[in-house]
Amino acid sequence: MPVGVEEVEVAVVGAGPGGLASAVTLGAYGVETLVLERRLSPSTLPRANAASTGTMELMRRWGLEQAARERSLDVEFQALATPTLAAAGEGQAIDVGFPTRDQAGLVSPTAPASIGQDDLEPLLEARASELPGTTIERGVELLSMTPRACGGYALALAGPAGGRTVHARYVIGADGMRSTVRQELGIAIEDSGSLAERLGIRFRAPLWDLLGEHRFVIYFITGGNEDRALIPAGKPDRWVFAISWDETPEAIENLSEVELTNLVAGATGYPELPITVEQTFHTSYGVGLAQRFGDGDAFLIGDAAHRVTPRGATGLNTAIRDGFDIGWKLAWVLRDWAGPSLLDTYEQERRPVAEFNAQRSSTEQGSIIGNGLGLAADIGGRVPHAWVERRGGLVSTLDLLGEGLTLFAGPDWDGSEPLTPGAAPMSVERIDAISARALCIPAGGSVLATPDGRPVAMTQGREPAGVLPGTASGEAVPV
């Protein structure tokens, strides 16, 4: 090895939500992780404004749920279709794929949060930076990556101190729609091109007090012919106004402050509203799917693997779940808890979700979807949430999931275990009869789950140990 060349177990290219989620996950296992980000500082744009149920379950796992709540807005997770904000009392609530306040408590120990990406990212970055073996470097750009004969890649980097080379056993490409990692791997992307063009205006105005009880995660402005929306984007009274845009992106620069203010005021229905325009931006709607989500020892997550439009607010949430999924699987392989075949399940499990979200977001009505279907895409496949007693209090079955395997056992479980090839550690969580019923476990049986809550094997008590149908013919989880 050349003198001065760094060696890391995993290099994560990109410090957006997906890249940071993978770094937090890897760091929990003590994996030596280097996160590389070409931006000198996080984005100041809210971008996404909705952390889904699945995202908030991960924030809870990482000890960040309360911090995220403190930064989020108290809204009902529905859209309100209304002529203007001033006419919100006449508006119609519409399901948009997130559980309402009442529904959330039935399916999860947490609930979605209305938090801007620029408020969420710093929480993830701070947590990743606290973990041993995790380093985040900003102002560093990936120039190229070359496969090594012994496995992994040699990464050529450019940064403030000049060029250098890093050897990484695995690489995670979290570097966005124009992913250098994807290009270096030679993976094509099937892209729709532009489906719609939008003008975005970020502004501040005292709207929350005017709206009173009519506080929703998004407002579809139905008055007039334009396709318009108002999105609450953070405290205090930070908003984004979006409207269809038929001119060139450069033409936005010619709009005067008066014109921008009038556009916003017209949608609010408050002509005398004091409005402070902070930023304008152009967004081109499009969808795209990489032909594969990895190659060799490198994997793509988030926008590098699948581009979606803002419709449905699935982009950030899908990226975070991607990062967690590939993170724990890489950690298992690096710690010899599982064989390399476990990594094949990353794309098997994440591509159907990406395909669904891409197709959904490509339609004009992509934001409008039944909550059951939205939840299936977001948290489907994990064991159910049920409250169980622990140390004089209640915790969720999801809170009991560990870094290895978790065996949920009914009250009459006799100690028989499902087939568990590999060396992943297993913790046993005995639960009461009603909670076991919620998890579809007989009183004398058990179910085995991976860190993401996916059930992979079960026992029926007096019946012979068995494997859940559809896992891996005669085997439990491919570890």
- The pLDDT tens digits of the residues spanning 209-250 come to 999 999 999 999 999 878 999 999 999 899 999 999 999 999
* Cβ 242 vs Cβ 303: under 8 Å: no
388 versus 226: which is more confidently predicted? 388
What share of the chain has pLDDT > 70, as a percent?
Answer: 95
Mean pLDDT of all residues in 11-16: 98
* In the predicted structure, residue 2 carries a pLDDT above the cut 90: no
d(CA 143, CA 11): 14
Per-residue model confidence as pLDDT tens digits over 317-366: 999 999 999 999 999 999 999 999 999 999 999 999 999 999 999 998 98
Inter-axis angle of helices 315-334 and 53-61, nearest 10: 40
Q: Give CA–CA dist 314/353, Å, rounded.
A: 10
Contact of 81 with 116, CB cutoff 8 Å? no
pLDDT at 424 exceeding the cut of 70: yes
Above 80 in pLDDT, residue 469?
no
Would you say 167 and 153 are in contact if contact means Cβ atoms under 8 Å apart?
A: yes
3-state secondary structure of 224: coil
Tell me the CB-side half-sphere exposure of residue 78, using CA atoms within 13 A.
18
pLDDT at 274 over 70: yes
Give residue 292's pLDDT. 97
Distance CA 109, CA 149 (A): 46
The answer to whether 6-72+115-193+288-379 and 387-459 have equal CATH topology is no
Q: Which residue has the tokens 């026992």?
A: 459
Whether the predicted pLDDT of 160 surpasses 70: yes
> What's the average model confidence in pLDDT over 392-406?
96
Predicted confidence at residue 460, as pLDDT, reads 85
Q: Helices 17-28 and 315-334: crossing angle, nearest 10°?
A: 30
pLDDT at 420: 66
Q: What are phi and psi of 429, to 5 degrees?
A: -120, 105
Q: Which of 443, 420, 419 is nearest to 431 (CA)?
A: 443
- H-only helix segments in 193-276: 208-211, 257-268
Instruction: Report pLDDT for 474.
Output: 37
| Residue linked to tokens 């007039």 | 224
- Report the C-alpha gap between 427 and 412 in whole angstroms: 17
Return the CATH fold of 74-112+196-284: D-Amino Acid Oxidase; Chain A, domain 2 (3.30.9)
pTM as predicted: 0.93
Beta pairing partners, 449: 406, 455
Q: What's the pLDDT tens digit per position in 57-84?
A: 999 999 999 999 999 999 999 999 999 9
Q: At residue 231, what are phi and psi to the nearest 5 degrees?
A: -125, 120
* Residue 301 contacts residue 173 (beta carbons within 8 Å): yes
Mean per-residue pLDDT, 171-196: 95
| Biggest CA pair distance of the chain | 76
Q: Is residue 470 very low, low, confident or very high in pLDDT (cuts 50, 70, 90)?
A: very low
- Tell me the pLDDT tens digit for each residue of 279-318: 999 999 999 999 999 999 999 999 999 999 999 999 999 9
Nearest to 295 by CA among 166, 155, 181: 181
Domain 387-459 fold: Glutaredoxin (3.40.30)
- Closest by CA to 340, choosing from 455, 170, 134, is 170
CATH T-level assignment (fold) for domain 6-72+115-193+288-379: FAD/NAD(P)-binding domain (3.50.50)
Domain boundaries, the chain: 6-72+115-193+288-379, 74-112+196-284, 387-459
Mean predicted confidence (pLDDT) in 255-274? 96
How far does CA 260 lie from the centroid of its chain?
Answer: 32
pLDDT of residue 476: 44
Measured distance CA(399)–CA(28) in Å, rounded: 15
pLDDT, residue 325, reads 98
How much is the pLDDT for 308?
95
Tens-digit pLDDT profile for residues 104-118 = 999 999 999 999 999
Kindly tell me if the per-residue pLDDT of 141 is higher than 90. yes
Structure tokens given for 101: 């306040």
- Tell me what the pLDDT averaged over the chain comes to: 92
Mean pLDDT within 376-405 = 96
Confidence of residue 443 (pLDDT cuts 50, 70, 90): very high
